[in-house]
Structure 1
Amino acid sequence: MLTGKHLIAGAWVDGTSTFVSSPATGPAHTFAAGTATDIAKAAEAAEAAFASFSQTRRAERAAFLDRIADEIEARAEQITEIGCQETALPEVRLNGERGRTVGQLRMFARHIESGNYLDVRHDPALPKREPLPRADLRLMQRPLGPVAVFGASNFPLAFSVAGGDTASALAAGCPVVVKGHSAHPGTGELVAQAIDAAIKACNLHPGVFSFVQGGNRDAGTALVQHPNIKAVGFTGSLGGGRALFDLCAQRPEPIPFFGELGSVNPMFILPRAASSRAAVIGAGWAGSLTLGAGQFCTNPGIAVIIKSPDSQTFIDAAHQALSAVATQTMLTDGIAEAYDKGVNQLRSVGGVESKLSGGSVQRDATPTLFITSGANWLAHEELSEEIFGPAGLVVEVADFEEMQAIARKMQGQLTCTLQLEEDDREHGKVLLPLLERKAGRILANAFPTGVEVCDTMVHGGPYPASTNFGATSVGTMAIRRFLRPVCYQDIPVSLLPEDLQ
């Protein structure tokens, strides 16, 4: 089933160099390594495809998205098999993620069929208006142009080749060039095969989608700097994302970079909730921390609670639950190394107690639990940094005023969580306005791992959670990233886009 090649403009092509995959189990495979030359060919094909694809009817694009979903499902068994080998994710997780992937493709198909996303507006001409007449003015959203998408390491399906960035860009009418992630190249190729089959079945321009396997950094640099690329979707590390963001800003024509970079997703436990269910919250928090070996961007890495006997109950419950978690295999050697490095750095900070010592040996990780005071957290910037893995930090604050200080100092987050009871209402009224400025999604009495794919979801937030606070990478509003408003003044109706006529 695997060719080991790139898909560029409808053709499967060899690379000038190769790399060998590093699966957790099963056989390794050889794949072409992307180069700047491959990227240029893909970007040129995408620009050639834009003229026709941007003009397709909404129903045509909806049928295309549905066909991609069908083709992915037709390859379900093979995708799950190689996905499990490459990532060590369990079969049930891969099957669920595939369901989410095809679900969001179908969701965008239904979304564009309605036409509401176009935000069509019309101010009719007023030729007799005094003192000046008004022209006929019409507005609608139009596609930006070719979009670059970077596959994510922690979601080989839902945030990668046919994930939310690709689905929303194609729905908008934008061709896509995907740079695959070298952690799961086989999974990526099988999904690219599905998209290729859908393009051919729908008789679309072959440049609508290209897939270039992971190469060195030069390929990524070439992709965001190619003049044909008009926007970028990225999910990954703060360092890598910030480097690409800067490259986008430094272009002769700067382009938007929609990057999801890092988040510790703090949880604030208010007094009545702590006194009534500290043990339950502690156990639940531990389960969320270790879900998928902590390799979720919404992993709640920090819990803030007022120091008291209730906080000790919370800590004891979390410690007990974390101690019972078996060793988990992480997605890549690099993620495991970064997790171990982050744990050791946190362990070295003064005023931090190591309650449960964990880390990683090769790709095998165990949970860690740290405790510190609110004053110490406020004094050490490094305690607010994300550790990607099953690591938790409990911040015991002196009082509610110090909890507010923590909330004010928090950087931008994907999520913030409130654990509260009815008697915590007044405290909640104080914290909620603070958290609204910090996160794209605020939860009550839940845990943030698990992102619903629906109209109202926001998966983004102020920097460094993402590079564009007004955008989301999950939910139907994600399509707005790849559209721009165009106003048509006195344009003959016969020339206007069909949706404006």
Structure 2
Amino acid sequence: MTTAERTGTLTGQMIIAGEYVTGTGRAIQAVNPATDKLLTPAYGHGDAADVERATAAAWQAFGPYRNTTSADRAHFLDTIADNVDAARDELVERATAETGLPAARITGEVGRTSGQLRLFASVLREGSWHGARIDPALPDRTPLPRPDIRQRRIPLGPVAVFGASNFPLAFSVAGGDTASALAAGCPVVVKAHDAHPGTSELVGKAITAAIVASGMPAGTFSLLYGAGSELGVALVTDPNIKAVGFTGSRSGGTALVRAAAARPEPIPVYAEMSSINPVYPLAGALRADAAGLGRAFVGSLTMGSGQFCTNPGLVIAVDGPDLDTFIESASQAVSGSTPTPMLTPNIARSYTGGVDEFEKAATVVARGERPEGPNACRAALFATDADTFLASTELQQEIFGASSLIVKCRDQQQVREVTAKLEGQLTATVHAADTDHDDAAELVGDLELKAGRILFNGWPTGVEVGHAMVHGGPYPSTSDSRTTSVGSLAIERFLRPVAYQDVPDALRPAAIADGNPEHIWRRIDGELTRD
């Protein structure tokens, strides 16, 4: 047996404030979706007592952890990143077995995960995350003097993070939600995804080892296993939890939003949920290379069996010969696409059911090759006219997998009418030649109201982790369109501003103290300065 198919260094246990705990609930095992074989060890689900223990430890850790220096937390994040990188071989082997994803994809995801952690370490060292503002006192101002008012941002408190199915590393135990929350000064309690429990434990160990090495409070991190409808809701409604990060289905995300809103003390839920990511090939772009665009579109569509939140699930364009060429090229590419395993048997079944429903409402343009192994994604391409699309709610539903719908419009005005009817999206993609700029300018204005990221002459799959990225958008793509779950701005989800009026300098936090002991950029009397 390979390392990924034996217990090896895996315990099958949860990690609660540094201690390994065996769950007493229903035992689950990961399934290799490429073979349908169960992987050991089994993991027992936790219960309400485990949630209470983890959240109590997180709350106890919150005070000392939030008062650590930016430099200490940055070192902590760097140590987690180092530990994740050091476990790369073991992570790749286990994660490929649990997800059916190729080793190259998982290797890249290990790098993205450690890179995100190091990005937030750099954010901490740079210091602008404090949001420091100072309005010095004006005692001689008339008719009333102005008091000394200073502002900084502080962490919200312990955060519950839900691991995603489609990114076992980058959106999971040490993913962007965890990295940004820890950077903000918030302890984290993670509910691992049942699809990759072994991968989750390996990463949980990397974080726990970093806590010990960095001298952080044990309750800074816990890892739980359990059903979202039970343990997940218990976690979100626990009074010690002050915010939630979630990546998953619309039904799961909205259930958590409702649970959090119904608390005696409602808390924010930052849920990334559903998006079909429209693509707009404009007339000039189609005229220049319709066939090439069709092939490239399918390359993006079928990448990773289409299991990306930014998968291009909708194409909107003016009907005509050039669009016909695009469709023919895309059809050939889909027909020749080889089915690859989906992440779990449940996801594969859901995909097949969604495609079956679409076949009743739209024209089937092409299907991929018939699968030979279990849980494979057979790509699907559909087409319809704009009038039919506008009259249908079913055709706007996301099918999680390599399926997309082409909407044929009479003219550019109808393209805008279709756009106006779309739900909120993570991305919108425009393919435009120089001759398309007038139409593109109007379209960009429309898309700003619909999507968190607008991109030109590329494909939405692949989200760069940096300072300017927005991975969010209006509902239902996310539950809060004002935020992002990717990039350095994500730290702001877990912070809130506090103003300090006439506080003696000896009692002021360093970020807003006289003399700027943190050596950070601050806005003093409206002017951004480092003095």
Choose the corresponding residue for 2:138, options 123, 126, 133: 126
> 1:96-137 deviations in whole A, cap 9, x for unaligned?
000000001000000110101111000111122222121111
Matched, 1:169 2:181: yes
**Contact 1:22/1:28 (<8 A) preserved:** no
Rounded Cα–Cα distance in structure 1 between residues aligned with 2:349 and 2:318: 33
Choose the corresponding residue for 2:207, options 191, 195, 204: 195
**Contact 2:334/2:367 (<8 A) preserved:** no
Rounded Cα–Cα distance in structure 1 between residues aligned with 2:401 and 2:288: 29
Structure 1: unaligned runs, 5 residues or longer: none
Rounded Cα–Cα distance in structure 2 between residues aligned with 1:133 and 1:384: 57
Aligned to 1:89: 101
Rounded Cα–Cα distance in structure 2 between residues aligned with 1:242 and 1:78: 35
Matched, 1:464 2:498: no
Deviation at 1:54, TM superposition (A): 0.5
Rounded Cα–Cα distance in structure 2 between residues aligned with 1:302 and 1:35: 41
Q: Which moved more, 1:33-42 or 1:194-203?
A: 33-42
Alignment of 1:433-472 (within 5 A): 433-472=445-484
Matched, 1:66 2:78: yes
Aligned to 1:22: 31
| Aligned residue-pair number | 499
Aligned to 1:243: 255
**What code does the residue aligned with 2:248 have?**
G
Rounded Cα–Cα distance in structure 2 between residues aligned with 1:345 and 1:178: 35
> What TM-score, normalized to structure 2?
0.92
Matched, 1:7 2:15: yes
- Off by >3 Å, runs of 4+ in structure 1: 25-28, 357-362
**What code does the residue aligned with 1:223 have?**
L
Aligned to 1:338: 350
**Contact 1:370/1:392 (<8 A) preserved:** yes
Choose the corresponding residue for 1:41, options 53, 77, 89: 53
Alignment of 1:478-497 (within 5 A): 478-497=490-509
Rounded Cα–Cα distance in structure 1 between residues aligned with 2:508 and 2:131: 15
Rounded Cα–Cα distance in structure 2 between residues aligned with 1:307 and 1:315: 10
**Contact 2:29/2:197 (<8 A) preserved:** no
**Contact 2:11/2:41 (<8 A) preserved:** no
Deviation at 1:32, TM superposition (A): 2.1
Rounded Cα–Cα distance in structure 2 between residues aligned with 1:57 and 1:298: 36
> 1:167-201 deviations in whole A, cap 9, x for unaligned?
00000000000000000000000000000000000
Aligned to 2:227: 215
**What code does the residue aligned with 2:311 have?**
N
Alignment of 1:42-441 (within 5 A): 42-215=54-227, 217-349=229-361, 352-357=362-367, 362-441=374-453
Q: Percent identity?
A: 49
**What code does the residue aligned with 1:355 have?**
V
> 1:284-338 deviations in whole A, cap 9, x for unaligned?
1100000000000000011111111111100010011111111110001111111
> 1:77-101 deviations in whole A, cap 9, x for unaligned?
1111110100001100000000000
**Contact 2:396/2:422 (<8 A) preserved:** yes
Structure 2: unaligned runs, 5 residues or longer: 1-8, 514-531
> What TM-score, normalized to structure 1?
0.98
**Contact 2:45/2:227 (<8 A) preserved:** yes
Deviation at 1:481, TM superposition (A): 0.1
Aligned to 2:510: 498
**Contact 1:337/1:362 (<8 A) preserved:** no
> 1:121-166 deviations in whole A, cap 9, x for unaligned?
0011112222212111100111000000000000000000000000
